[in-house]
Each structure stands twice: as C-alpha cells, then as structure tokens.
C-alpha cells in the first residue's frame, strides 16, 4: 500500500495545481476583521450605556475577552458540526458536545456579568 501523501512535502500540498493563487487563510482574515468591528461596536455601546464611566484599558481587555469567548464558542460549534457530519459519531461524543456547549454558554454569561 503506497500513500502519496507521505511522499509530498507540506509545501507541495499548499501549491495550487492550476498555478492560480489560492487563499487558504480567508477564515482567519475574516475573523480578525469581524473581531475588530465587534470591538469598536462594543466600545461604542459601552460608552452609550455607561456614559459616566471612563473607557479604560481594563474595560477594553474585558471586551476583548468576551469577543474571544464568542468566537471560541462559534468556531467550536462549527467544528463539532463538521465532526458529526463527517463520521465522528457516538453517544459519548454527543453527550460531551452538549456538555461542552453548556459550559461555553455559562462562560459567556459569567464573563458578561463580570464585565458589566
């Protein structure tokens, strides 16, 4: 049994066959842009809801932490969806995924209460 994947170097796997440039990191770039937009919107909303409070570095770090938790939960949900769809099956896995999503939701609620 020969497997051609073992003969290729990792750089050869990322080269396009048709010599056109392909973007493999569009998800990372999109996430960074959406994260920056959410950060700016969050600072704006913080200024609206708490006009007498100054926006300090601590508030900014808490908002960044909340955005990180939101992205973490969304990406993990997508990862679990693809894992179940492409053959990662079993009752234990389903129970673990449900428990994980509940814990992630609790983490977001707790961090929201810590921030505000």
| In the chain, domain spans | 12-115
pLDDT at 34: 84
Going residue by residue through the chain, which has 116 residues, state the pLDDT in tens, using 9 for 90 and above: 455 555 455 555 555 555 555 555 666 677 778 888 888 888 888 888 888 888 888 888 888 888 887 887 787 777 777 777 766 555 656 677 777 778 778 877 877 777 66
Rounded CA-CA distance 116/98 in Å is 27
pLDDT at 100: 76
pLDDT at 17: 56
Rounded CA-CA distance 20/77 in Å is 32
> SS3 helix, strand, coil % of the chain, rounded to 5?
75, 0, 25
Distances in whole angstroms, Cα of residue 13 to Cα of each of 2, 18, 23, 26, 28: 17, 13, 13, 17, 19
CA angle in degrees (0–180, nearest 5) for 103-88-71? 40
Distances in whole angstroms, Cα of residue 69 to Cα of each of 54, 74, 107: 24, 9, 8
pLDDT at 32: 79
């Amino acid at each position: 049994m020969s497997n051609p994947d073992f003969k290729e170097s990792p750089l050869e796997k990322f080269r396009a066959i048709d010599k056109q440039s392909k973007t493999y990191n569009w998800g990372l770039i999109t996430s960074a842009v959406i994260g920056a937009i959410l950060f700016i919107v969050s600072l704006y909303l913080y200024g609206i809801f708490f006009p007498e409070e100054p926006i300090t570095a601590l508030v900014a770090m808490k908002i960044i932490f909340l955005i990180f938790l939101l992205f973490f939960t969304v990406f993990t949900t997508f990862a679990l969806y693809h894992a179940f769809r492409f053959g990662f099956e079993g009752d234990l896995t389903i129970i673990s995924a449900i428990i994980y999503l509940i814990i992630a939701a609790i983490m977001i609620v707790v961090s929201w209460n810590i921030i505000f």
